[in-house]
Amino acid sequence: MTSDQGERNSLYGPLADVSGDAGYAEGHPPRVGFFTDTSVCIGCKACEVACKEWNGLPEPDADALLLTGMSYDNTGALGSNSWRHVAFVEQTLPAQGATALPGGTPDPSGLDSPLISEIADGGTTRWLMSSDVCKHCTHAGCLDVCPTGALVRTEFGTVIVQPDVCNGCAYCVSACPYGVIDRREGDGRAWKCTMCYDRLRGGLEPACSTACPTDSIQFGPLDELRAVAEGRLADLHAAGHSEARLYGADPADGVGGTGAFFLLLDEPEVYGLPPDPVVPTRDLASAWRWAGGAAAVLAAGVAVAFAGSPWSGKQS
């Protein structure tokens, strides 16, 4: 149907129209996404709260309410019951770093603890805060491997689980290169961010981006968000923040670019993100060729075993 990009890239590589590739007719809505600009995140967790409230996510188990010791992050990670997760990274930078950062302020106290004394040497502390979410990949590993058809691409280009179809096989959990989707304890099915599919259908924007007070989470058509992000990146680079980089905005990356992408101020793994994720399906054909070859080896081995007789099997 929609082969306007000239070549089919259904399994890997850039894909101009994800919904069209999934079978939606011409005239479907534009692909939408999130641009999470972590340089203006203040770590308020309004996104987490709004998400849980709107989607009616279950309370965590009592023992999950313990403090993690990971700065202000007591959510820990994305999971079946946490579809937004605000990461908090506290970094102490040496003085010669020439990387005074947004929000980074020299500590004047000069107290005699290792951390403070380093700061007294002229270094700075910086906070990295980032609201993580399902990436709604162009080539989504979870969607590719789902054996029941529970995971589907929506007309908005997002990826959702149909709870009435999912049988909890958990293949999607291992196929997600970002560690996002998870099976819910006690429920048995897989759950993740829907980008508030119900709100999108009703013409609203998702709860998290609506609640975000600093516009760190921006929602809109993906093309527009990418342009906004390029502009923001250029501004930050011009201001000397050479460490700023976009994550997930490149349609040529291992997942064909993500529907939810980020502006980060450090390496992805510092935020708990994979540095160069690849959709498993990229190597599926190769894997099947090896399995087919191995099956042929097995069959040949059996044939050889019954053909020759280098070792006597007879009872002597």
Partner 1 sequence: MTEQLQVPPADFQSYYGQPILKVPRWKEPHLPLYLFLGGLSGASAAMGAAAAAAGNAGLARAGRLTSAGASLGGTAFLIAELGRPERFLHMLRVAKPTSPMSMGSWLLAAHSGLAGAAAATEVTGRLPAIGTAAGVGSAVTGPLLATYTGVLLSNTAVPGWREARRELPLLFAGSAMASAAAAGLAGTALDAGAERGPAIRLAVLGAALELAAVSRLEHRPGLAGEPYREGSAGQALRAARWLTPAGGAVALAAGRSRIAAVAAAGLLTGGALATRFGVFRAGVASAADPKYVVASQRPVTDGPAGG
Taking CB under 8 A as the criterion, which residues in 236-275 touch partner 1?
267, 269-275
Per rule CB under 8 A, is residue 126 in the interface with partner 1? Answer: no
Cβ(236)–Cβ(242) below 8 Å: no
Looking at 86, 89, 200, 249, which residue binds partner 1 (CB under 8 A)? 89
Comparing CA positions, the residue from 209, 158, 211, 160 lying closest to residue 189 is: 160
> How many residues sit close enough to partner 1 to count as binding (CB under 8 A)?
83
Per rule CB under 8 A, is residue 175 in the interface with partner 1? Answer: yes
Looking at 1, 25, 111, 299, which residue binds partner 1 (CB under 8 A)? 299
Per rule CB under 8 A, is residue 206 in the interface with partner 1? Answer: no
In the complex, least distance from residue 153 CB atom to partner 1, rounded to whole angstroms: 12
Comparing CA positions, the residue from 149, 166, 180, 144 lying closest to residue 256 is: 144
* Other C-beta atoms lying within 10 Å of the C-beta of residue 185: 13
- DSSP letters of 191-207? E---SSHHHHHTTPPPH
Q: Which part of the chain contacts partner 1 (CB under 8 A), choosing from 40-48, 171-179, 209-217, 257-265?
A: 171-179
Residues 6+ apart with CB under 8 A from 20: 1, 2, 26, 28
Query: Strand pairing partners for 27?
Result: none
- Ranges within 52-71 binding partner 1 (CB under 8 A): 68, 70
Q: Which part of the chain contacts partner 1 (CB under 8 A), choosing from 46-54, 104-112, 159-167, 256-264?
A: 159-167
The three-class DSSP label of residue 126 is strand
In the complex, least distance from residue 162 CB atom to partner 1, rounded to whole angstroms: 10
In the complex, least distance from residue 132 CB atom to partner 1, rounded to whole angstroms: 10
